[in-house]
């Protein structure tokens, strides 16, 4: 194979890489429970969640974010208990908008790593998060941290595969979301999707989307 042909192949590969959009999505879980969608039996098995707390979570959900859930739980659990619980259960944070206080709720998070999270905003995809944070910690730690985060996806163009990464996004929910496209704004989304899912489901899903 001559040099000219090799260069053409490499250039074609580069064009494909540039043209291919990064799939913004929710970080891959490793058994982490999402408290807004986990059933009562799953929640009851988690450390430090007694029946009263489980009932409280179910009655109050969906929680808008992790800070809201933390406010509820911290009235009953101390910092050590919360840290143990958050290693098993967490509402994933928006990498592009989460405040420092919310990022610090991730177990094992320190000030240095918070700075790294913030430095690379705005994130366009989980792949970008893996690459940038992988400069500071090993693959195992990147995978652990990924469980706690998400990058909002485009409501009007995201594929079925990307939509399926959202917690609680059943085939029925995905179909409902797609049937309402294109959405003009989030109010339009809430109105259309709210006709087919529960009153709490549309607001829960909304946090994972942007409209472009």
Q: Using one digit for the tens of pLDDT, what is the confidence trace for 128-164?
A: 999 999 999 999 999 999 999 999 999 999 999 999 9
Q: Are 151 and 208 within 8 A, CB to CB?
A: no
Q: How far apart are CA 35 and CA 37, in angstroms?
A: 5
Hey, which residues does 33 pair with through a beta bridge?
89
Q: Would you give the end-to-end CA distance of the chain in angstroms?
A: 44
What is the residue-wise DSSP string for 83-135?
Answer: HHHHTTB---EETTT--HHHHTTSTT--HHHHHHHHHTPSP--HHHHHHHHTT
For the record, the structure tokens of 27 come out as: 């970080």
Hey, which residues does 150 pair with through a beta bridge?
26, 94
Q: How far apart are CA 66 and CA 105, in angstroms?
A: 8
Q: Are 142 and 133 within 8 A, CB to CB?
A: yes
Q: Could you report the per-residue pLDDT of 182-210, keeping only the tens digit for each?
A: 999 999 999 999 999 988 999 999 999 99
Q: Kindly report the number of other CB atoms within 10 A of residue 76's CB atom.
A: 14
Q: Could you report the per-residue pLDDT of 56-96, keeping only the tens digit for each?
A: 999 999 999 999 999 999 999 999 999 999 999 999 999 99
Q: Could you report the per-residue pLDDT of 105-131, keeping only the tens digit for each?
A: 999 999 999 999 999 999 999 999 999
Q: What is the pLDDT of residue 14?
A: 34
pLDDT band for position 12 (cuts 50, 70, 90): very low
Q: How far apart are CA 117 and CA 27, in angstroms?
A: 14
Strand 153-154 with 149-150, pairing = unpaired
Q: Could you report the per-residue pLDDT of 46-58, keeping only the tens digit for each?
A: 999 999 999 999 9
């Amino acid at each position: 194979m001559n040099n000219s042909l090799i260069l053409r192949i490499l250039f074609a590969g580069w064009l494909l890489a540039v043209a291919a959009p990064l799939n913004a999505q929710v970080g891959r879980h490793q058994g982490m429970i999402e408290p807004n969608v986990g059933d009562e039996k799953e929640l009851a098995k988690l450390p430090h969640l007694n029946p009263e707390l489980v009932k409280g979570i179910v009655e109050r959900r969906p929680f808008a974010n992790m800070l809201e859930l933390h406010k509820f739980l911290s009235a009953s659990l101390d910092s050590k208990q919360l840290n143990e619980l958050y290693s098993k259960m967490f509402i994933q944070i928006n990498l592009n908008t989460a405040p420092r206080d919310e990022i610090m709720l991730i177990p094992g998070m320190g000030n240095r790593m918070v700075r790294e999270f913030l430095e690379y905003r705005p994130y366009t995809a989980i792949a970008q998060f893996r690459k940038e944070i992988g400069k500071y910690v090993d693959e195992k730690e990147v995978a652990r941290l990924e469980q706690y985060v998400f990058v909002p996806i485009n409501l009007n163009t995201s594929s079925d595969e990307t939509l399926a990464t959202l917690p609680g996004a059943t085939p029925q929910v995905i179909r409902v979301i797609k049937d309402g496209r294109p959405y003009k704004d989030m109010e339009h989304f809430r109105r259309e999707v709210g006709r087919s899912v529960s009153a709490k489901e549309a607001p829960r899903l909304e946090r994972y989307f942007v409209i472009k």
